[in-house]
Structures are given as C-alpha cells and as structure tokens.
Amino acid sequence: MPVPADSTQADCHLRLIRAASEAFMKEGYRASINQIAARAGVARQTLYNHFAGKDDLFSEVANIAAKSILVSLDDGGGDIRQRLVRFGATYRERLIGDEGLALFRTISAEAPRFPELARAFYDKGPGQMVRRLAEFLSRAMDEKTLRRDDPKHAAETLLAMLDSGDRSRRLFGAPRLPADQERARVSRIVDCFIRAFAPTR
C-alpha cells in the first residue's frame, strides 16, 4: 500500500528501517531495494530520498538495534545493579531472541563477501555498544561504585558474561529459557560482575 499523503517524513523513515530489518532477516543482504521499498509501501525513489543505498540502510538497522539496547542504561533510574540488570535483560533479548539470531546469521553469512559492510555493521552496532557501556562503567568507577579498571575491558567482560554461550546454543536449536529462569540468570550474571569489580575497601 502506498504511504498516505499526510504521512510524515519521520514515519516514512521508520517504516523503511522496519521494512529493511524484516527483509534482511528473511532474505539476507541479497534482499533488493525494490523488495524493501515494497515492504515499506513506498516508491523506490522514496527510499533513496532517505538512504544513499542498501549499505547505508543496513548499517542504520544495526545502529537502531544497538540504540534500543543502550537506552536501558539511561532510563528508569535506580542503582548500578538495577540499571545493569535492565541492560542485561534487554541485551540478551536482542542477542538470543529470534530477531537477533536472524540478524546475526545474515551478517555472518555476508561478512566474507562484504568486509567493509561487516566492519560498518560492527562499528554502528556491537562496537557502539562496547563504547557506550564502557562510558557508563567509567562513570561508575569515577563515583567509586565500581573499582577503577579499564572500562573497555569491563564492558567486554560483562557482554561476554551475558552471552554465556547461549547464543551458540540457540543457533543450534536450543529453546529459550523460561522467563523466570532468564530473569534469574541475568541477575546472577550481573551480581557476579559487580562482585568482580567491587570497590576495594
């Protein structure tokens, strides 16, 4: 269906990103501009009015995915444990949920053929997440909520702990944990991380 005349540019932009995300997860990077435009309900030229091309659109999908996880660090208040538990739950939902696994399969399959695209995806997605999480942890270290250490190392450590090999298990067909077990798993991981980086008394 065509976009209504009163549809705003912002609405159209978001529809294109949503359509691209769905197309890439279903078809991989081979999804065409025409398919994405049709899925969004716009003309091909409308897509080009918003994005330079498919590479630009693909990297923006990664950027939006990373931002949707990172917002949990800044919203809702609470102490560092509460904020890291929220972040961890959101991160694992994206990491080992069906959409996250589909996106991971897509970029992994295309990385050897499109190394520049893969690097751009990493920089805007996982790379941005490491940087932002490191900034958050650095502030906690300044406030002496966590002991002083290399914030980037701390961020990478927490992300590795949150993965816990669960993405690999899910990629090979293991089911998601029940909701109560998932919450308990995230809490245990965050508690372990906080103990590891607890301030020296």
Predicted TM-score (pTM) of this structure: 0.77
What is the full DSSP assignment across 60-104? HHHHHHHHHHHHHHHSS---HHHHHHHHHHHHHHHHHSHHHHHHH
DSSP letter (8 states) at residue 4? P
Q: What average pLDDT does range 172-194 have in this prediction?
A: 95
Reported confidence tier of residue 6, pLDDT bands at 50, 70, 90? very low
Tokens 């030229």: give the residue: 45
Q: What is the pLDDT of residues 95-120, one digit of tens each?
A: 898 888 887 887 788 788 778 877 87
Report for 14-28, 100-114, 155-169: range of highest mean pLDDT: 155-169
Q: Which CATH class is domain 54-196?
A: mainly alpha
**CA–CA distance, 100 with 154 (Å, rounded to integer):** 23
- Residue pair 130/159 in contact (Cβ under 8 Å)? The answer is yes
- For the chain, the average pLDDT equals 86
Q: How many CB atoms lie within 10 A of CB 45?
A: 8
Task: Say whether domain 1-51 belongs to CATH 1.10.10.
Answer: yes
So where are the chain's domains? Answer: 1-51, 54-196
Reported confidence tier of residue 4, pLDDT bands at 50, 70, 90? very low
pLDDT for res 1? 37
Asked if residue 5 has pLDDT above 80, the reply is no
Angle between helices 80-96 and 151-163 (to 10 degrees): 50
Asked if residue 2 has pLDDT above 50, the reply is no
**CA–CA distance, 51 with 70 (Å, rounded to integer):** 24
Report for 66-70, 114-118, 189-193: range of highest mean pLDDT: 189-193
The percent of the chain in helix, strand and coil, each rounded to the nearest 5, is 75, 0, 25
